[in-house]
Amino acid sequence: MPNDRLLMIVEDDEAFARTLKRSFERRGYDVLLADSQEALEKLLETHDPGYAVVDLKLGAQSGLPCVQRLHAHDPAMLIVVLTGFASIATAVEAIKLGATNYLAKPSNTDDIEAAFARSGGDPAAPLGPRPTSIKTLEWEHIHEVLKDSDFNISEAARRLGMHRRTLARKLAKRQVG
């Protein structure tokens, strides 16, 4: 299959994956679905996608190894990471591992296609002070610890010195998508 319109979607939410698949197919893409890194590996044995959309959190696993694997498979592939757990730390890691863009959920097909088109970056992006609240700093710290603990909520709660249920409640409150 030619990779110029072949899209790999790595998403464990079956309903969301099917919705994205149908939407991209209406736009002329051939779409492959994987719900785990293992499923991704099998598909990469026989397919060479030019595009990929990867969920940052695949069940209890991180989607970052999938980003790394896709980039290793084809460094020219345009990879967009979608997440309901957006943080600066995970955005930086995703880009370092080969993602071309990073979007917070909810994102639709238009947003994802626009992210594919913006893969080169914008050197004229305006710089300015970023006001940071205590809540934002807490949120970013929580996600840094989550990333460092491979998205294991129990381990992250232990490292943060809080009860697992408290952390789960905080994540549920701020989760997008």
Task: Report the CATH number that the domain containing residue 154 is assigned in CATH.
Answer: 1.10.10.60
Contacts of 129 (CB under 8 A, 6+ apart): none
pTM of the model as a whole:
0.71
Range of the domain at 154: 134-174
pLDDT of residue 3: 64
| Average pLDDT of every residue of the chain | 87
Identify the CA nearest to 52 among candidates 107, 115, 122, 106: 115
Question: How many Cβ atoms sit within 10 Å of the Cβ of residue 60?
Answer: 10
Residues 54 and 139 in one domain: no
Residues 144 and 170 in one domain: yes
Domain boundary at 85, 117, 149, which?
117
Domain count, the chain: 2
* Residue 125 belongs to a domain: no
Residues 105 and 143 in one domain: no
Residues 68 and 96 in one domain: yes
Residues 72 and 146 in one domain: no
pLDDT band at 130 (very low <50, low <70, confident <90, very high): low
Question: How many Cβ atoms sit within 10 Å of the Cβ of residue 136?
Answer: 13
pLDDT band at 132 (very low <50, low <70, confident <90, very high): low
Integer Cα distance of 79 and 87 in angstroms: 18
pLDDT, tens only, 10-62: 999 899 999 999 999 999 999 999 999 999 999 999 999 999 999 998 888 89
